[in-house]
Structure 1
């Protein structure tokens, strides 16, 4: 996969692209990561990339020319258009499902904005997706872009040491992930659940499923509406929810 980021602050990505999982994926040749300063594509002597909004108002708006020119320069083959993603608080909320969808692409271009916003022609005629990482506003799109890139790259084959890790993560199954334990078996009087050291794999999987359901019920009950559950699981969850309500009274 090839990932290009259009930003006015490419230095922000130096550490992110060179460390941890992203750095290892880059070293292995699984992904190509590049931060491009789209100020270099400005078509004026002062290299300005923003201007006052038509109609008045506060703030500055990113001009279309440098952004279009940068994206078109990154598109090596005219027929193989990249997925062009605008990082924007007005965009679709980024989810694990979206990460899985983007991980199947061969070329992503993420655009990081600053100032008041983007010229609307960028939205209408250049980008394929608009993404937000939450209902809040940051000073720029760089941090959201880092989050999206990290989430997508870890799904690529060969990136994680254990290929099942990404599959069983929270949100990948539609549920929050079950609790994890490791050595020592007892710490400050707190013991690992007996089932996990029983060696009975079928019972362990059943326990993990139950714990995922319970954790999702307690922390993100809205997610359960979208998960395929058995009649037995639905009945058990109802009993758990009823029990929790009674204990709160």
Structure 2
């Protein structure tokens, strides 16, 4: 029987997105059994409740390790915490993936620790542009991750939708203020997205009738729903 911890009435530490197959693969590559992992976490990291059954439960995706448990697991498996995390999305997840303490990030960014932790807990970034740039540097954030972590993705989506449906030239500067992208590739990508969207709408309407109107509406809505992903895909292709 798999023995996992019972739910507690006390608040639990946040659980980062866990890559269970990676944990299982790394353990096997080291020639370790779940009992070896559990023993290492108990003895070296002071987690007396960790059992082989709990390690197996993590690897099967039945439950996921908390942040302290993941850090300890990474230490036992001789890897970085980032190798055991699925694609991080939040500020806290990116910090954990880089194996950084909150104090380190707060100091590098130039905010007090309590204020930084509030931003982690709420998911509401309130730093200045300069502090955001420092955050991107210490966490090694890609441009898409930077936009998500600083809470700007919805605003970017709104700007991109407006750019492809009106005059894209008017949105170069507003988009550049949100997304850390060079101006020339940004202009090319916005024009490409505009041309694709307008061409799709014209092609659908050229069929004529109510069916065409519905097809045009569906095609346009789908394009706009995927606009942020399409934007980053094309920025990446620009190299």
TM-score (normalised: structure 1) = 0.26
Higher strand share: 1
Higher helix share: 2
TM-score (normalised: structure 2) = 0.26
Larger RCO (CA under 8 A, 6+ residues apart): 1
